[in-house]
Amino acid sequence: MQPVQTFTATDFKAKCLEILDRLAARKLTRVSITKRGKVVAVLTPPDDPDSAVLRLHGFMRGSVIAPPGFDLTTPILDEPLSAEEGALHE
CATH number at residue 14: 3.40.1620.10
41 contacts: CB under 8 Å, gap ≥ 6: 32, 33
> How many angstroms separate the CA atoms of 31 and 5, rounded?
5
Per-residue confidence band for 46, with pLDDT thresholds at 50, 70 and 90: confident
Number of domains in the chain: 1
Residue 30 per-residue DSSP state: E
How far does Cα 78 stand from its chain's mean position?
41
Q: Does a structural domain hold residue 23?
A: yes
| 90 inside domain | no
Instruction: pLDDT band for 88, please (50, 70, 90 cuts).
Output: low
Q: Is the pLDDT of residue 30 over 80?
A: yes
pTM of the model: 0.54
The mean per-residue pLDDT over the stretch 63-82 comes to 81
CA-wise closest residue to 5 among 45, 37, 33: 33
Q: What is the mean pLDDT of residues 24-31?
A: 92
Please state the φ and ψ torsions of residue 58, each to the nearest 5 degrees: 85, 15
Full domain range(s) for residue 35 = 4-46
